[in-house]
Structure 1
Amino acid sequence: MRKILYIIGLTTFVFSCTSQKNVKKKSYSPPKPVTQPKTVVKTGVSEKPKPQVTNEHGVEFFTTNIGDVTKNDNTASYGSIVSAKPIGYKVVKTYFPAIAQNFRQKYLILHYTALLDDKSITVLTEQNVSSHYLVNNTGDNEIYQLVDENKRAYHAGISSWRNDKNLNDTSIGVEIVNSGYTTDAMGNRVFASFSDEQIRKVAALAKDIITRYQIPPTNVLGHADIAPTRKQDPGPMFPWKRLYEQYQIGMWYDEEMKKSFYDLASIDFTTKYYEPSFIFNIQTQLQKFGYGVDPSGKWDDATKKTIEAFQYHFRPQNFSGIMDAETWAILQALNLKYATK
């Protein structure tokens, strides 16, 4: 009996140990989070359709503006599109054009040739001086183009206006056939007039250029404005006021505003004329308007020529180079009307 009980106990122990070996030990696993499907974010270019580049006989053009004209941004091309042609590669216009661009042509500069028609053509086409256009004085309806608008013409030379210098880089030049000036027995300059046909041509040409390139009135200037110590053209006989009133081209002052400044200036203008602070203020006002004059507090030659250039443009009845009350009033009225932004 004792032997039987021993066998039963031994069998129970072996079975118990064997069962424990076969039991897998469970470990704790945290529940897996539910993953939401990701939203695909497109990082490519805008799908907004752009006007197509047109192709005429293998030459590409883009004449639609998608830029912001209020910021003088314009993507339109007024000639064929110029593109690189790298060997072994293809330049494509899949994303053409970018809206962040504007025209190089910021200024319209008017000149006279101081030469007759034939001589003007020869000089402007065969020597180291040129302009984009030449307005003749032959009474026809032709305007000569001499330089592509997308290229620089050599018409402005050393020049400045407001914050810009070397205006060949940023301007379109228009030369007008005119003999310039002669000097009388008293040493005074006597300027030649422009024909009515010429002024109508200039007006039509200028209107077209400033409209296409969104050139502001403050950037329609004469050569004397941007280089007053060197140049006199287009001179006091050029009808700036007529262009402003009849064609809305360029700048002119408001008469009432000028009168109000004149009434103030006439009180003690002459008593202050030679005071350095007064001279410095005049030079600063000329500089503020756009002229490249350095304030020195002295009536130096550069200041006199700058006043003279200003008078050619805005007070042609008297271009003495002397800052009188009327010239001062005109300058104040213009600075108020065309304040620098």
Structure 2
Amino acid sequence: MRKTLYIIGLSFFVFSCTSQKNVKQNASRTNKQVVQPKTPVAKTPSEKPKPQITHEGGVDFFTTNIADATKNNNTVSYGSIVSAKPAGYKVVKTYFPAVGQNFRQRYLILHYTALPDDKSVAVLTQQEVSAHYLVNNTGDNEIYQLVDENKRAYHAGVSSWRSDKNLNDTSIGIEIVNAGFRTDSAKTRVFAAFSDDQIKKVAALAKDIITRYQIPATNVLAHSDIAATRKQDPGPLFPWKKLYDEYQIGMWYDEAAKQTFLTQAQTDFTTRYSEPAFIFMIQTALQKFGYGLELTGAWDDSTKKTIEAFQYHFRPEKYDGIMDAETWAILQALNQKYPIK
């Protein structure tokens, strides 16, 4: 009996030791699997190969768009790629660029300097006002760049258009050397003309900027459009229609649409001009088009200046700030052509 118990106990001891050894071996294998080296994230089958980043002069460039242009996305860099340099770490571009990105530059704003060439350069480079470009009036083929397009220039000031405000953040500014205006004996503003050479420069420059940054026609504006109560530039002699007709730059109304609205507008102005509801409707139309205007139902000073700014741009033959049937018809035609999306 004792011999039988001894044999059973010995068998149990051998089995127990063998089991513990196997557990240790399995644990050892498990530990080895945990410390496997990290592998790079594999590309999904649908991910397209990305063009190479260009290296030049010690900086990186990426000049190809791999994003969906129909969503206004764009991965092109019109300059060197700016990257962080955190102490003790390396920033890599293994997965550069993400397709979900677009441009900061969403507006193009045009100004005049109201100064001659030399003073325009001095003020725009040495004082707390600036623009990305300055178009001179010296008859040469030069355009002065004053600010990097990727940086904010101080040209728009307090400004708004549609739902956007502080347009320095999202715009490129072009200043044009021009004397501005003088006031005649009847206290009417008399504006200075632009030279043909200047307009050709502005057109070429604007076309380049608009094309590169995909700036829509509704965002090519005068300083007076985005700051109607305090600015007049570039004034009624700036040829917006010429830029639209010959270079496809900016907005303009369709003549047929204007004539359609004009018939009804003439009736409205005969019978409803002084009605607060009618004034409110016109103010609403100006605000809908883009102007930052408070709706008061009265022909107040802000409304007059806003109408004046609108006329500078779209009815330069008459810029007295008084709404008439033709100005109203033009405004309606523009709202029909360029609705807010």
TM-score scaled to structure 1, two decimals?
0.87
Rounded Cα–Cα distance in structure 1 between residues aligned with 2:100 and 2:205: 28
Q: Could you tell me which residue of structure 1 aligns to residue 105 of structure 2? A: 105
What do residues 277-310 of structure 1 show as CA deviations (whole Å, max 9, x unaligned)?
0000000000000000011101111110000000
Rounded Cα–Cα distance in structure 2 between residues aligned with 1:311 and 1:77: 37
Q: Could you tell me which residue of structure 2 aligns to residue 307 of structure 1? A: 307
Rounded Cα–Cα distance in structure 2 between residues aligned with 1:120 and 1:109: 17
Rounded Cα–Cα distance in structure 2 between residues aligned with 1:257 and 1:155: 34
Q: Could you tell me which residue of structure 1 aligns to residue 77 of structure 2? A: 77
Rounded Cα–Cα distance in structure 2 between residues aligned with 1:289 and 1:204: 27
What do residues 51-83 of structure 1 show as CA deviations (whole Å, max 9, x unaligned)?
111101211000001112222211100000000
**57-66 or 152-161: which moved more?**
57-66
Rounded Cα–Cα distance in structure 2 between residues aligned with 1:215 and 1:73: 12
Moved over 6 A (4+): none
| Residue 195 of structure 1 pairs with residue 204 of structure 2 | no
What do residues 134-158 of structure 1 show as CA deviations (whole Å, max 9, x unaligned)?
0000000000000000000000000
Rounded Cα–Cα distance in structure 2 between residues aligned with 1:114 and 1:45: 57
AA at the equivalent of 1:57: G
Q: In percent, how many aligned pairs have the same letter?
A: 76
Rounded Cα–Cα distance in structure 2 between residues aligned with 1:279 and 1:112: 31
1:108 Cα offset (Å):
0.1
**In terms of Rg, which structure is larger?**
1
Which ranges of structure 2 fall in alignment gaps of 5 or more residues?
1-39
Counterpart of 1:108 in 2: which secondary structure? strand
Rounded Cα–Cα distance in structure 1 between residues aligned with 2:78 and 2:196: 29
Rounded Cα–Cα distance in structure 1 between residues aligned with 2:87 and 2:270: 71
Q: Could you tell me which residue of structure 1 aligns to residue 178 of structure 2? A: 178
AA at the equivalent of 2:55: N
Rounded Cα–Cα distance in structure 2 between residues aligned with 1:128 and 1:195: 28
Rounded Cα–Cα distance in structure 1 between residues aligned with 2:68 and 2:189: 46
What do residues 184-229 of structure 1 show as CA deviations (whole Å, max 9, x unaligned)?
0110000000000000000000000000000000000000000000
Q: Could you tell me which residue of structure 1 aligns to residue 68 of structure 2? A: 68
Q: Could you tell me which residue of structure 1 aligns to residue 286 of structure 2? A: 286
1:43 Cα offset (Å):
7.4
Rounded Cα–Cα distance in structure 1 between residues aligned with 2:290 and 2:73: 23
Q: Could you tell me which residue of structure 2 aligns to residue 255 of structure 1? A: 255
What do residues 226-252 of structure 1 show as CA deviations (whole Å, max 9, x unaligned)?
000010000000000000000000000
> Superposition pairs for residues 1-341 of structure 1, below 5 Å?
44-46=42-44, 47-341=47-341
Q: Could you tell me which residue of structure 2 aligns to residue 20 of structure 1? A: none
Rounded Cα–Cα distance in structure 2 between residues aligned with 1:57 and 1:143: 26
Rounded Cα–Cα distance in structure 2 between residues aligned with 1:134 and 1:285: 33
AA at the equivalent of 1:78: Y
Rounded Cα–Cα distance in structure 2 between residues aligned with 1:226 and 1:275: 27
Counterpart of 1:268 in 2: which secondary structure? helix
Counterpart of 2:267 in 1: which secondary structure? coil
Rounded Cα–Cα distance in structure 2 between residues aligned with 1:268 and 1:254: 21
| Residues matched between the structures, number | 300
Which ranges of structure 1 fall in alignment gaps of 5 or more residues?
1-41
Rounded Cα–Cα distance in structure 2 between residues aligned with 1:239 and 1:89: 54
1:48 Cα offset (Å):
2.2
Counterpart of 1:267 in 2: which secondary structure? helix
- What is the root-mean-square deviation in Å for CA atoms of aligned residues? 1.1
